[in-house]
Chain A
């Protein structure tokens, strides 16, 4: 049987960093990822931070991958950060760039699927030097421990695809819906209070249009957060980040809040896209083909359809080349065009042909590329106190990590920090030849406790709060509840800031959280602020969001014939909520008749016995084929990821 010093389950940003670090430390490590290619199951918002703390070191992405800043396929360097309070078409914008810069070395918008592929290439190269590597398309199904007769326990990894093999240390980096955590009994499932549901779409926008619209240079990027009446009263908010030539637009909601009054995430997303301020950011010019004349001979209809789709593709390519500085230069460098004017002429030519030959018109709409959804652990409630079990160390989302508090959204960077610490713990365990819970597990916990992130997750950072409040300095205080009004007033006065912070520090963390994460803070206050002092935004166009069916049709899902989710109780409140909350509508309500007893009907020879209808009950049924493995329904189901290579394949993530 094969046996390895370290086996990493899950090839997200955390697992890949662990592989890289273990390999650098001279350990032979193997990473198993169920998606193929790697990155195909990754989703983030997302902004990747590199941070610094006065009270200790954090391991940043550039520490793990030394050529990160020169080579990594990141999108834009986020230099401006805004919070938008919304009410109808009114918006009040607060500049939080200073808060964003707080303890930040740099921050980049990223597309996780793409970036993880780059991380994987680097990590694999490093791992190969030690005889390790990455195996894609393998789903870990079980882990078995056996006493080796000499006082320690061997662990055996069971997968759907490979022969069993042994591992001395296991790093669980299998994400928020960690199966390893449940297999090993390291923790129970995360409670809804400790989870968010994130739903997102990628919107395409030519680079130059983006630069102009957001008033940025081509290397800069902007982040917008949104709060107020976008949530139908649920606790949560929206985001919109600029990538190179796409936008990441989405919403994040407390799962418990969604469970209380379930609402379809795709409908929420669609309402978000049609809020004027958001619409104005995403809108673009799109070609609208003319309705095909059905009376034409079929051959002619086909000819038109093929001709049109070819020309439309050309048009798209030309347009994105022409309106993107990078693509334009690249196309000229590769000799496709001799200069910019030639691209422009070609573009106008194709556009003219589309209009003349095919009756195409051009209208304002938006171009959606990919829809995605995933749970996010809320670190302050989900973080594992004991992030280990037997010879397993938990990192990243699997360990419930993440700082999600108000306008702070960080997960990737924290998982990477965990990864570096776990790798060091494994290296030490190997040196001491002791992979036990008591040694390796505790040593890892100690290293994690030393991480400034751990404290940051547990406690509200009042320095950050002060910056936040200062940024809100101009907001009139009348809409606030009395308590908050007082707090704000105090904190706005620099002289008493320290005092106010001290008072806040004395309050129990849970009391403070109740205030910060209250419905007032998420919804009512932003709405009031926008209503009272916001400015009216007129939509420059109307967009037509995709329907959920159109979205699903565009997703690449490799169907797994074997169901990976089983409903436990088809009538529970939770499972009924899934009919609304599943992002790809895998759950459906089915009415069935419940019969009872037998009754004689008819007379004489025609007597028949019939069952009597007792009740019409509604059961929930699941069609797993469209599942994108977000985990929303995992709370009360038997839930696993699909087998290796199966299921969702995200391109952007």
Chain B
């Protein structure tokens, strides 16, 4: 195997978020329209999970050290545990303090910046998800990059690192709505923060990578059973943040009203189909085909 020159050359961080499990449909709301977080089951957000896969890729292919971090309530340690299963994180950092509450994306970025700077090693690469499912918070990643002074690449679907020149090569997918989708290959020097596109695919094409992946996957499951011993919880004081820039106080944007857009009422027409009736099945087949071909 010839891929392991220079151990621990890359130090990476992955920022993740605890989010309501919208897939289950068991979301509940407060009377004021905000999410009732205590009633809704929370998990590692799906976009965060993609960021973790990208972090695992760095671990497998570049032997990276990976720290997973999250800002959130104490229960967010579950998100970090889930993250650990995916990326085999070496450390878990949770930034949890009442004072962080009410943070918008900029204030969150401020907290995470301090967290990343306090990971105890020079971080070269940060991974973030595309956005969160419980809020259009796609700017947290770029804002964190900006605060850290890192280069930023968004919508990444594939990446590689040149360890010698310390450059990251990324392929990004740019959807031009109504027009077409373009694939861009970009490169920039480290340190950098990359946000992963939902269509990110890790592609382990080397035998050594597959073997390392299998090994790390096992290791990750083992670590996650004992995740608390990898976990450090940071308060605002521990992080040494300036309270003017974090939490509600540090948030220039304030959500002062939440209104649900009512779902169009019963716009679904349902028809019971007899699974033995070939004609009806054919009709459905055509319908699906039309939708798939975009000729609805």
By a CB distance below 8 angstroms, the chain B residues around A132 are 211
Bound Cα distance from A518 to B169, whole angstroms: 69
Are A2 and B272 touching (Cβ within 8 A)? Answer: no
Report if B7 contacts A (CB, 8 A): no
By a CB distance below 8 angstroms, the chain B residues around A128 are 214-215, 218
By a CB distance below 8 angstroms, the chain A residues around B206 are 2, 162-163, 165
Report if A3 contacts B (CB, 8 A): yes
Bound Cα distance from A334 to B205, whole angstroms: 43
Residues B189-231 near A (CB distance < 8 A): 205-208, 210-211, 214-215, 218
Min CB distance A123 to B, Å, is 13
Bound Cα distance from A134 to B217, whole angstroms: 14
Report if A308 contacts B (CB, 8 A): no
- Closest B residue to A163 by CB, please name it: B205
Are A298 and B207 touching (Cβ within 8 A)? Answer: no
Residues A1-43 near B (CB distance < 8 A): 1-4, 30
Report if B1 contacts A (CB, 8 A): yes
Looking at the complex, which one of B2, B214, B218, B274 makes contact with A2 (CB distance below 8 Å)? Answer: B2
By a CB distance below 8 angstroms, the chain B residues around A163 are 205-207
- Closest A residue to B210 by CB, please name it: A135
Min CB distance B211 to A, Å, is 5
Residues A142-183 near B (CB distance < 8 A): 161-163, 165
Looking at the complex, which one of A3, A133, A301 makes contact with B211 (CB distance below 8 Å)? Answer: A133
By a CB distance below 8 angstroms, the chain B residues around A299 are 272
Binary CB contact string for chain B from 3 to 19 against chain A (1 if under 8 A, 0 otherwise): 10000000000000000
Are B215 and A162 touching (Cβ within 8 A)? Answer: no
Report if A131 contacts B (CB, 8 A): yes
Given contacts A1-B2, A3-B1, contact A301 B274 (CB under 8 A): yes
Are A133 and B214 touching (Cβ within 8 A)? Answer: yes
Bound Cα distance from A1 to B208, whole angstroms: 9
Bound Cα distance from A318 to B264, whole angstroms: 45
Most buried by A among B2, B3, B206: B206
Interface residues on B, range: 10 to 19
Bound Cα distance from A161 to B209, whole angstroms: 13
Given contacts A1-B2, A133-B214, A133-B215, contact A162 B207 (CB under 8 A): yes
Bound Cα distance from A4 to B206, whole angstroms: 12
By a CB distance below 8 angstroms, the chain A residues around B205 are 161-163
Report if A302 contacts B (CB, 8 A): yes
Residues B140-163 near A (CB distance < 8 A): none
Min CB distance B281 to A, Å, is 13
Given contacts A2-B2, A3-B1, contact A135 B207 (CB under 8 A): yes
By a CB distance below 8 angstroms, the chain B residues around A2 are 1-3, 206-208
Looking at the complex, which one of B1, B3, B211, B218 makes contact with A135 (CB distance below 8 Å)? Answer: B211
Bound Cα distance from A1 to B209, whole angstroms: 12
By a CB distance below 8 angstroms, the chain A residues around B2 are 1-3
Residues A302-317 near B (CB distance < 8 A): 302
By a CB distance below 8 angstroms, the chain B residues around A131 are 1, 211
By a CB distance below 8 angstroms, the chain A residues around B210 are 133, 135, 162
By a CB distance below 8 angstroms, the chain B residues around A165 are 206-207
Binary CB contact string for chain B from 268 to 286 against chain A (1 if under 8 A, 0 otherwise): 0000101000000000000
- Closest A residue to B273 by CB, please name it: A298
- Closest A residue to B1 by CB, please name it: A2
By a CB distance below 8 angstroms, the chain A residues around B207 are 2, 4, 30, 135, 162-163, 165
Min CB distance A302 to B, Å, is 6
By a CB distance below 8 angstroms, the chain A residues around B211 are 30, 131-133, 135
Most buried by A among B3, B205, B210, B218: B210
Min CB distance A305 to B, Å, is 8
Bound Cα distance from A161 to B208, whole angstroms: 13
Min CB distance B126 to A, Å, is 28
Min CB distance B266 to A, Å, is 18
Are A298 and B274 touching (Cβ within 8 A)? Answer: yes
By a CB distance below 8 angstroms, the chain A residues around B214 are 124, 128, 133-135
Bound Cα distance from A124 to B214, whole angstroms: 10
Residues A84-137 near B (CB distance < 8 A): 124, 128, 131-135
Binary CB contact string for chain A from 52 to 75 against chain B (1 if under 8 A, 0 otherwise): 000000000000000000000000
- Closest B residue to A7 by CB, please name it: B207
Bound Cα distance from A302 to B214, whole angstroms: 45
By a CB distance below 8 angstroms, the chain A residues around B218 are 128
Bound Cα distance from A135 to B2, whole angstroms: 19
Are B1 and A302 touching (Cβ within 8 A)? Answer: no
Given contacts A2-B1, A162-B206, A163-B206, contact A302 B272 (CB under 8 A): yes
Bound Cα distance from A43 to B218, whole angstroms: 29
- Closest B residue to A127 by CB, please name it: B211
Bound Cα distance from A135 to B218, whole angstroms: 14
Min CB distance B203 to A, Å, is 10
By a CB distance below 8 angstroms, the chain B residues around A134 are 214
Bound Cα distance from A3 to B274, whole angstroms: 57
Min CB distance A130 to B, Å, is 11
Min CB distance A8 to B, Å, is 12
Min CB distance A474 to B, Å, is 57
Min CB distance A545 to B, Å, is 24
Min CB distance B213 to A, Å, is 10
By a CB distance below 8 angstroms, the chain A residues around B1 are 2-3, 131
Bound Cα distance from A183 to B36, whole angstroms: 63
Are B215 and A298 touching (Cβ within 8 A)? Answer: no
- Closest A residue to B214 by CB, please name it: A133
Bound Cα distance from A163 to B2, whole angstroms: 14
Bound Cα distance from A412 to B208, whole angstroms: 30
Min CB distance A162 to B, Å, is 6
By a CB distance below 8 angstroms, the chain B residues around A135 are 207, 210-211, 214
- Closest B residue to A161 by CB, please name it: B205
Bound Cα distance from A30 to B272, whole angstroms: 52
By a CB distance below 8 angstroms, the chain B residues around A301 are 274
Are A298 and B272 touching (Cβ within 8 A)? Answer: yes
- Closest B residue to A32 by CB, please name it: B207
Bound Cα distance from A184 to B178, whole angstroms: 53
By a CB distance below 8 angstroms, the chain B residues around A30 are 207, 211
Bound Cα distance from A589 to B94, whole angstroms: 68
Residues A376-425 near B (CB distance < 8 A): none
Q: Enumerate 22 A-B pairs (CB-CB under 8 Å) in ascending A order.
A: A1-B2, A2-B1, A2-B3, A2-B208, A3-B2, A4-B207, A30-B207, A30-B211, A131-B1, A131-B211, A133-B211, A133-B214, A135-B211, A135-B214, A162-B205, A162-B206, A162-B207, A163-B205, A165-B206, A165-B207, A299-B272, A302-B272
Interface residues of A (CB under 8 A from B): 1-4, 30, 124, 128, 131-135, 161-163, 165, 298-299, 301-302
Interface residues of B (CB under 8 A from A): 1-3, 205-208, 210-211, 214-215, 218, 272, 274
Supply 6 further A-B pairs (C-beta < 8 A) apart from A128-B214, A133-B214: A2-B1, A135-B214, A162-B206, A163-B206, A298-B272, A302-B274
Nearest 9 A/B pairs, CB to CB:
A133-B211, A2-B208, A163-B205, A2-B207, A135-B210, A165-B207, A163-B206, A298-B272, A298-B274
